[in-house]
């Protein structure tokens, strides 16, 4: 299964369900308003029925069914996407701090960072194409979270704790990564690039420390 595609499918499925539910709510609301307007015009007064137990039970049942379905499909996607992670070719410690990111490539002297404010010199997390990369995510001050929307992964960065994920980016490219946890005034500028480059380019980066 291609990297993270289980979560793309899940995202599509959940979005469709959300739109269908939204549509049903709008239809029900408009219908109820229209009907009461109609009754008012005809001088029929409000409906006498104080309870509609069958309807409410049906509604609760449908709701429970929906929740069970969503939970099961999320767990299934998780199981599909997290078999035992492959042995990483590279391990990077990703450290979030107010308000930027730092990347240390384990077993090398290379640590890279940048300026998060102003989008001019964003930090770049370099990874080799097609090789498993383990990210050990942590923080120095408050809670942050690494979020790469395009690849559908998000991981909390806790001070004094390490969260790990093994990612394999299948093609060359550059994707925006954001902090997904409100962490202070410049939270909104806490972005970086995830960039996948050919393994040879990546090795050169490790040797020179320069992208
Ligand atoms: Cu943050």
Q: Per residue in 112-160, pLDDT tens?
A: 888 887 767 889 999 999 999 999 999 999 999 999 998 888 999 999 9
Whether the Cβ atoms of residue 194 and residue 175 lie closer than 8 Å to each other: yes
**Could you read off the pLDDT of 146-200 as tens digits, one per residue?**
999 988 889 999 999 999 999 999 999 999 999 999 999 999 999 999 999 999 9
Which of these three, 38, 57, 81, is where a domain ends?
A: 81
DSSP tag of 117:
G
Q: What is the pTM of this model?
A: 0.74
Q: From the CA of 157, how far away is ligand 1's center (Å)?
A: 9
Distance from Cα 155 to the centre of ligand 1, integer Å: 12
- Kindly list the protein residues that place their beta carbon closer than 5 angstroms to ligand 1, a single-atom ion: 144, 179, 183, 187, 190
Q: Which domain holds residue 167?
A: 90-208
The rounded Å distance from CA 190 to ligand 1 centre is 6
Do 113 and 162 share a structural domain? yes
Looking at the DSSP assignment, which residues form a beta bridge with residue 139?
96, 159
Under a CB-based contact definition with an 8 Å cutoff, are residues 131 and 89 in contact? yes
Q: Are residues 97 and 53 in the same domain?
A: no
Contacts of 2 (CB under 8 A, 6+ apart): 170
Assess whether 40 and 73 both reside in one domain: yes
Rounded CA separation 138/156 (Å): 8
**Measured between alpha carbons, how far is residue 208 from residues 110, 192, 194, 204 in Å?**
8, 20, 19, 6
| In the predicted structure, residue 1 carries a pLDDT above the cut 60 | no
Whole-number percent of the chain with pLDDT over 70: 96
Could you say which of 35, 61, 81 is where a domain stops?
81
3-state helix vs strand vs coil in the chain, percent to 5: 40, 25, 30
| Residues 71, 173 within the same domain | no
Cα(180) to ligand 1 centroid in Å equals: 7
Task: Tell how far the Cα of 94 is from the centroid of ligand 1, in angstroms.
Answer: 12
**Quick one: how many helices (H) and strands (E) in the chain?**
3, 10
In total, how many domains does the chain have? 2
Distance 183 CA to ligand 1 centre (A): 4
């Amino acid at each position: 299964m291609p990297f993270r595609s289980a979560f793309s499918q899940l995202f599509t499925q959940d979005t469709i369900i959300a739109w269908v539910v939204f549509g049903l709510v709008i239809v029900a609301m408009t219908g109820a308003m229209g009907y009461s307007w109609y009754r008012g015009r005809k001088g029929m007064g409000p409906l006498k029925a104080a309870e509609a137990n069958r309807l409410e039970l049906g509604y609760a049942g449908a709701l429970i069914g929906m929740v069970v379905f969503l939970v099961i499909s999320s767990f299934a996607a998780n199981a599909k996407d997290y078999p035992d992670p492959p042995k990483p070719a590279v391990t990077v410690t990703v450290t979030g701090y107010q308000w930027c990111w730092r990347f240390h490539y384990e077993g090398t002297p290379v640590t890279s960072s940048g300026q998060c404010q102003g989008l001019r010199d964003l930090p770049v997390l370099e990874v080799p194409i097609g090789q498993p990369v383990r990210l050990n995510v942590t923080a120095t001050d408050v809670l942050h979270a690494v979020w790469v929307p395009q690849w559908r992964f998000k991981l909390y960065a806790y001070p004094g704790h390490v969260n790990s994920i093994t990612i394999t980016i299948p093609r060359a490219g550059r994707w925006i990564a954001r902090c997904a946890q409100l962490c202070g005034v410049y939270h909104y500028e806490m972005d970086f690039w995830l960039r996948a480059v050919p393994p040879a380019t990546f090795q050169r980066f490790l040797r020179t420390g320069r992208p």
